[in-house]
Structure 1
Amino acid sequence: MISKLKAFFEKELSLKSKNEPQEDINAKLQKACAILLLEISKADYQETKDEKDRIRKILQDKFTLSDAQLNELIALSEDEGNEVTSMYPLTSLINEHYSYEQKLGLLDLLWQVAYADGELSKYEDHVIRNVAELLYVAHSDFIKSKLSQQP
């Protein structure tokens, strides 16, 4: 089990070299973001259609994906997200490539998913708080993001 997880993180989320093509890095970032969004929808143990629809719209808009690309990204992210035991590999990849403003934008998207079903559970709030800490987002910016995305 541990070797399987290690292989997954080495293969999919770590950067093998500084010369890795930008397309590969972008694909990994897309997958990391998709997994984080999906984790928010699962946090309260009630994945709703509204949350799933919101995730699809976010991913399609943010990464300008075709329907086929979107379906593939979601399928891969769901499969790999089921094996994720820590947010750290996802957030460290994001930390390496996103500016602070991009991290705040991602945080806003996480809140949008959490609020998509009309209510915010303590579990969704907890997961987003942990992600924000791993992304080194200031607590004041975490709160501003949360309040700005409330319905």
Structure 2
Amino acid sequence: MFETLKRLFTSTEPAAERALTPEVCTAALMVEAALSDGIYADVEEAEIISVLRTGFDLDEARAAEVLQEAEDQAEAAVDHHRFTRVVKQLPHDQRLTILTDLWRVVLADGERDAHEDALIRRLAPLLGLSDRDRAEARQAASGR
């Protein structure tokens, strides 16, 4: 019994977290951002697929698979740290692009919501990005 408890508390990461990829984590953060206003619109889903295709060079089918896995992961998640921890390992310029893409997703429905703003404001430092980076990413996404 003590060995079982010892293994439980000394395990570094659950198997599901070890398997998380930057693609899935990025998509999960985008799903969370899209859901933060209470509505997961088709246009937001399409924008996530577009981001996955261009940002990670995925074909349509693989992007859809990644999105499905990300939706499942986001639904089971209790916080964003498991996703931001993986994405934060990417180079700064790629994280900045992801932040811009997060803005693209939340702005895709044509409405800017305070909950979406608040979520991105919380995510930026978790991704190792500054307030200035966040503002520049929002401007870049708005200008598209």
What TM-score, normalized by structure 1, do the two folds share? 0.80
In structure 2, the residue matched to 1:126 is: 118
What residue in structure 1 maps to residue 128 of structure 2?
136
Q: Give how far 1:10 is off.
A: 2.3
Q: Does 1:90 align with 2:86?
A: no
**CA–CA distance in structure 1, aligned partners of residues 53 and 39 of structure 2:** 23
| C-alpha distance in structure 2 between counterparts of 1:34 and 1:118, whole Å | 20
Q: What does 1:47-58 align with in structure 2 at a 5 Å threshold?
A: 47-58=40-51
Q: Which residue of 2 aligns with 1:103?
A: 95
- SS of the aligned residue for 1:40 comes to helix
Once the two structures are TM-superposed, the CA of residue 34 in structure 1 deviates from its matched residue by 0.7
Are residue 31 (structure 1) and residue 24 (structure 2) matched? yes
Question: Taking structure 1 as reference, are residues 130 and 86 closer, same or farther at Cα in structure 2, changes over 3 Å only?
Answer: same
Aligned partner of 2:141 in structure 1 is: 149
Tell me how far apart the structure 2 counterparts of residues 73 and 48 of structure 1 sit (CA, whole Å): 18
Q: Is 1:71 matched up with 2:75? A: no
SS at match of 1:82: helix
Classify the secondary structure of the residue corresponding to 1:112.
helix
Residue 148 of structure 1 deviates from its aligned partner by 2.1
Distance 1:109 1:12 in 2: 25
SS where residue 120 of structure 1 aligns? Answer: coil
Residue 67 of structure 1 and its aligned partner are, at CA, apart by 2.6
Larger Rg: 2
Point out where structure 1 has 5 or more consecutive residues left out of the alignment: 1-6, 15-23
Q: Which AA in structure 2 matches 1:79?
A: D
Deviation at 1:112, TM superposition (A): 0.2
From 39, 54, 60, the equivalent of 1:61 is 54
In 2, distance between residues paired with 1:68 and 1:126? 32
Alignment coverage as a number of residue pairs: 132
Q: CA deviation at 1:90?
A: 1.0
The separation in 2 between residues aligned to 1:79 and 1:89, in whole angstroms, is 14
The sequence identity of aligned pairs, in percent, is 24
RMSD after superposition: 1.8
> How far apart are the structure 2 equivalents of 1:62 and 1:144?
18
